[in-house]
Amino acid sequence: MIENNAETTIEANKVIYKRYFDVSIDLLFEAWSSSEHLSEWWGPDGFTLTILSLDFSNGGIWDFIMHGPDGHDYKNRIQFIDIRKPHYIFYKHLGDGEGTKDVDFQSKIIFEKIGEGAKLTMEQIFPSKEELERVNQKYGAIEGGKQHINNLGKYLETLR
């Protein structure tokens, strides 16, 4: 059974989300690493995704647009820092790819095999506590992170 909600903790400049999924570690990792899967679940509630390019490799760049439920488009660029299949993905958010860097954070996505399922830990690390608070106030980042993980869970249910 897949738990419905991520356990969330805040530590100074870091938000940590943890959730167990009743799927293999390989499927969970794949859901984070292929355009086919990412386009089905990435983002908070009501968002859709257009992937412009995805180079899922160490140093590779992922360019995408998140389409908000309010009709606004949010361009994003991510650089993968370190990938170790199926154990973890570390990446840095580079802004919108056009020189605007309104949101500055790194993410560590850690996958652990637990029995027949897998535990996901997603850490979002900001340069300071103040930056985390600013991004949360402006964009609802913490609630958005919870929805992001829950949307992954809903998507994984469709693959079972």
Residue 38 has pLDDT above 50, yes or no: yes
pLDDT above 70 (res 100): no
pLDDT digits (tens, 9 = 90+) for 86-99: 999 999 999 876 66
Q: 75 has which bridge partners? A: 65
Mean of pLDDT over the chain: 93
Q: Which CATH number fits domain 7-159: 3.30.530.20, 3.40.50.720, 3.30.470.20, 2.60.40.1930?
A: 3.30.530.20
A 10 A CB-CB count for 83 gives 20
Predicted pLDDT of residue 122: 98
Look at residue 95 in the predicted model and tell me its pLDDT: 80
User: pLDDT at position 2, please?
Assistant: 43
Cα of 32 vs its chain's centroid, Å: 8
Of residues 1 and 136, more confidence is placed in 136
Average pLDDT of span 112-134: 96
Average pLDDT over residues 53-82: 96
What confidence score (pLDDT) does residue 149 get? 97
104 pLDDT more than 90:
no
What backbone phi and psi angles, to 5 degrees, belong to 137?
Answer: -65, -40
Domain spans, the chain: 7-159
Q: Is 26 left (phi over 0), alpha (psi -120 to 50) or beta?
A: alpha
